[in-house]
């Protein structure tokens, strides 16, 4: 390892900004000769809230959870392919639970010294800020957190590697 970070944890949620974050995390891991692990978390808290609000019945919740798991696997596989194109081998993990808590557990277990994530969602109220998972990861993390913005610049960096 020849850089400031040895173990990078990339949090993805399937958004366009998390794909941009993935490109930057891959570039950083390659540049620093660092290990990279990618985490996707099925947000069980959200599913339970939808069930409590009677938006879902139990069977629908289970179907939707299965769909989210499949989406997570697809996103993780896509990131593996991006890394393969740059000659980087990465690890992936799919978890279920409260997103920021699962990310915190993974930081500990993996020994991450940096979390990379995409741009934070727009927060329209103070209450929203308590539920935006990217924000919660940022606020509760015990290691450095890098928020990636600037898709065009990141794509240039990624393409030029």
pLDDT digits (tens, 9 = 90+) for 124-140: 544 544 457 777 787 77
Range(s) of the domain holding residue 131: 7-160
pTM for this predicted structure: 0.85
E strands present in 16-78: 35-43
Task: Give per-residue pLDDT as tens, 54-99.
Answer: 666 666 666 767 888 899 999 999 999 999 999 999 999 999 998 8
Q: Is residue 110 part of a domain?
A: yes
CA–CA distance from 101 to each of 53, 71, 96, 134, 149 (Å)? 23, 20, 10, 11, 24
**Is 1 a member of any domain?**
no
142 assigned to some structural domain = yes
Work out how many domains the chain is built from and give that number: 1
Question: Residue 24 to residues 32, 40, 49, 84, 86: CA-CA distances in angstroms?
Answer: 12, 17, 33, 14, 12
Cβ atoms within 10 Å of 9's Cβ, excluding its own:
29
HSE on the CB side for 62, CA within 13 Å?
Answer: 3
């Amino acid at each position: 390892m020849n850089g400031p970070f040895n173990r990078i944890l990339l949090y993805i949620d399937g958004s366009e900004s998390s794909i941009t974050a993935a490109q930057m995390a891959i570039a950083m891991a390659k540049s620093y000769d660092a290990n990279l692990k990618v985490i996707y978390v099925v947000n069980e808290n959200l599913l339970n809230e939808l069930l409590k609000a009677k938006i879902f019945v139990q069977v629908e919740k289970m179907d939707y959870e299965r769909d989210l798991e499949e989406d997570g696997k697809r996103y993780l596989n896509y990131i593996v392919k991006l890394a393969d194109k740059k000659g980087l081998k990465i690890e992936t993990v799919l978890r279920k639970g409260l997103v920021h808590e699962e990310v915190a557990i993974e930081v500990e277990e993996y020994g991450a010294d940096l979390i990379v994530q995409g741009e934070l969602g727009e927060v329209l109220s103070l209450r929203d800020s308590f539920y935006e998972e990217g924000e919660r990861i940022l606020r509760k993390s015990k290691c450095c957190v890098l928020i990636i913005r600037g898709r065009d610049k990141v794509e240039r960096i990624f393409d030029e590697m």
